[in-house]
Amino acid sequence: MCGIVGYVGAKPAEGVVIEGLRRLEYRGYDSAGIALVDGGSIVSDKRAGKLANLEKAIAESPLPQVTTGIGHTRWATHGPPTDRNAHPHLGRTRRVALVHNGIIENFAELRGRLESEGVEMASDTDTEVAAHLLEEQLETGVDLTVAMQNVCRGLHGAFTLVAVDAHDPDRVVAARRNSPLVVGIGEGENFLGSDVAAFIEHTREAMELDQDQVVTITRDGVSVSGFDGTPAEGRRYHVDWDLSAAEKDGHDWFMRKEIFEQPRAVADSLLGRRGTDGLLQLDEMRLSDQDLRDVDKIIIIAAGTSFYAGMVAKYAIEHWCRIPVEVELASEFRYRDPILTSDTLVVAISQSGETADTLQAIRHAREQRSKVLSICNTNGSTIPRESDGVIYTHAGPEIGVASTKGFLTQLVACYLLALYLAQVKGTRYGDEISQVMDQLDQMPAHIQTVLDKSEQVYGLARDHVGSRSVLFLGRHAGYPVALEGALKLKEIAYLHAEGFAAGELKHGPIALVEEGLPILCIVPPRGRDQLHDKMISGIQEVRARGARTLCLAEEGDTAIEPYADVLITLPQVPVLLQPLVAVVPLQLFACELATQLGHDVDQPRNLAKSVTVE
């Protein structure tokens, strides 16, 4: 949600800022803007629409070659995505330029006060008030760092702010509360970004900040303080991926590249999880075995795709550990007054680690003294920092807005958590746990087998370019897969798509079925709990009503053949692990269908990668 870049150094700031924005554009792409400090004044340009519009404007009317600047790509909250609402926003004397991610909740009151004092607002945004307030502070004679501290103490809500002062060209100042911001540490230059992708081509040394901190970067230094001015220290870390991970590698879309990276991402997420004694070890767990033994209930909270990973986790944890598990949408969690005790383990799943709904939910859980464990892909992000323990997935940066390798690696982390709990609680024998770990170790090869058949799925996608609606059916662990397949199609192909539990169809949704309606059916492996046979009955029911059944079923499943208009085979894997292979054709299907429809797959309309507002 909004990408932010700040730079001070020796290079032309325009290039560094625009390149940084390009790498952050997945976070928001309603508008883009830049401000540079040029010999005592601010030069700025900002345009509605994608970054390309800004670049075109700059090409027509070049900016000065100066070395301090800030930039922004926006996901609109207050005010439509127009030129005037694009960031940066300037104060009334044009001394300060400011960019912002988040929502300033008391902006109406602040705006009222400023207007009553004669300030004319140039936009509909909540952000602009902060630019005026900073200028007011600077006029009292303090520097931009102190001005930022003073202003932030009076703001409510969630925000990252980054500002420059025309009179102080060697300084960029930023602040954060409940919204992402990292510092990039270079030699003779320093950077600010919503995430490390903003500066990864310049430096892999980064610093994370705590809540309610202000950071000042100059060419030669970085200093951190609290909103009250107390000096503080950021935590430095090395980023373990490089520029090539943030490039498309010859694919047309980041999403497609990330789908094909899944065998590696799954393998990386499994790496180093077994000790020499064969026991599972989760280094970043930080919760003691006794804490885990005391757990009598687990609540999983997450949003979107991560929520579906949580649904799969419920099947795995309940089956292997016999602990009751609830899965809850993060945005709903706090509002139902959940029953939480110190023996409740709350598991937060978030690829970005910055999702505001999930963050607020874990804060609520910790206030109730529950332990929080997060499953996250982003080192240094807020959710793992505010958790008692964390299992990092090792997917590498996920740039495509629609999550793919993020989901598969979350599934891996969920299985690992379930097996670890089973080990600690003794609900499974060691050899059973080893057997599942061996099966997991084979998954990268199985996922590759599915990817090797991508042409068949692409053909299927091309056949469905004219479809107005697609349904997805699954049972057991295949049900969240159906939901995820439908979400992918909605997000990037803008098609009506619904996922259903196959057994539920006859209770209402079957009325939707009409002649020729495509239904993607995720058929469970044979041989367990009659799941497979029940699924076939469901498929027969929709076929009898004219549906076109596109079935995903395991290799050798001949029973499905008479009922499948199209059959895509999956490797033979246990039912609980099947989501790891079954979701892949659905990702490929959505990606190709959206491409055929001419949509921007990586930046679908109305969406943003990291949803940092509630």
User: Which one among 203, 350, 454, 549 touches ligand F6R, defined by CB under 6 A?
Assistant: 350
| Residue numbers 440-499 binding ligand F6R by CB under 6 A | 487, 491
As a whole number of angstroms, the distance between CA 561 and CA 523 comes to: 11
Question: CB of 592: closest distance to ligand F6R in angstroms?
Answer: 16
CA dist., res. 493 & res. 486, Å (int): 10
Nearer to ligand F6R, 330 or 564 (CB): 330
The CB-of-136 to ligand F6R minimum distance in angstroms stands at 36
- Taking the least distance from each CB to ligand F6R, the nearer of 4 and 110 is 4
* Contact with ligand F6R (CB under 6 A) among 203, 351, 409, 454: 351
Do 468 and 495 contact (CB within 8 A), yes or no?
A: yes
Nearer to ligand F6R, 69 or 579 (CB): 579
Please state the closest distance from residue 355 (CB atom) to ligand F6R, in A: 3
Phi, psi torsion values for 58, nearest 5 degrees: -70, -35
Residue nearest ligand F6R by beta-carbon distance:
304
Least distance from C-beta 563 to ligand F6R, angstroms? 30
- How many residues bind ligand F6R, per CB under 6 A? 15
Residue 175 contacts residue 227 (beta carbons within 8 Å): yes
Return the number of the residue (110 or 302) whose C-beta is nearest ligand F6R.
Answer: 302
The binding track of 291-310 with respect to ligand F6R, each residue x by CB under 6 A or -, is ------------xxxx----
Tell me how far apart the alpha carbons of residues 556 and 558 are, in angstroms, rounded to a whole number: 6
Cβ proximity to ligand F6R, 352 vs 569, nearer residue? 352
Judged by CB under 6 A, the stretch of 158-166, 173-181, 223-231, 350-358 that binds ligand F6R is: 350-358
CB of 410 to ligand F6R, least distance (A): 8
- Selected from 73, 262, 358, 595, the binder of ligand F6R by CB under 6 A is 358
Helix (H, G, I), strand (E, B) or coil at 514: coil
- Cα dihedral sign for 520, 524, 526, 527? negative
The reply to whether omega before 180 is within 30° of 0 (cis) is: no
Q: What are the distances in angstroms from CA 181 to CA 254, 549, 598? A: 23, 47, 34
Q: Which stretch binds ligand F6R (CB under 6 A): 125-133, 351-359, 439-447, 580-588?
A: 351-359
**Candidate residues 352, 370, 454, 587; the one interacting with ligand F6R per rule CB under 6 A:** 352
> How far apart are the C-alpha atoms of 92 and 403, rounded to whole Å?
41
Q: Which two tokens stand for residue 177?
A: 């509360």
Interface mask toward ligand F6R for 490-509; x: CB under 6 A: -x------------------
Stated as kind and residue range, the H or E segment containing 575 is none
Tell the smallest beta-carbon distance from residue 382 to ligand F6R (Å). Answer: 11
402 is a contact residue toward ligand F6R (CB under 6 A): yes
Position among 77, 355, 374, 603 found at the interface with ligand F6R (CB under 6 A): 355
Task: Report in angstroms how near the CB of residue 204 gets to ligand F6R at its nearest.
Answer: 22
Site residues for ligand F6R, window 4-63 (CB under 6 A)?
A: none
Identify the helix (H) or strand (E) that includes residue 143: none
Q: Of 150, 360, 387, 403, which lies in the binding site for ligand F6R, with binding defined by CB under 6 A?
A: 403
DSSP of 25-94, one letter per residue? Answer: GGG--SEEEEEEEETTEEEEEEEESSHHHHHHHHHHSPPP--SEEEEEEE--SSS-S-TTTSSPEE-TTS
Annotated catalytic sites, by residue? 2, 609
Q: Which is nearer to ligand F6R, 137 or 352 (CB)?
A: 352
Q: How far are the Cα atoms of 381, 413, 419, 445, 590 from residue 255, in angstroms, in the given order? A: 22, 21, 30, 20, 10
Q: How far apart are CA 319 and CA 312, in angstroms?
A: 11
Specify whether the CB–CB gap between 345 and 370 falls below 8 A.
yes
With contacts defined by CB under 6 A, name the span among 124-132, 226-234, 348-356, 510-518 that binds ligand F6R: 348-356
Q: How far is the CB of 285 from ligand F6R (least distance, A)?
A: 20
Q: Give the Cα-Cα-Cα angle 541, 545, 549 (nearest 5 degrees).
A: 70
How many residues are there in the chain? 614
Residues of this chain that interact with ligand F6R (CB under 6 A) are 303-306, 350-352, 355, 358, 402-403, 487, 491, 610-611
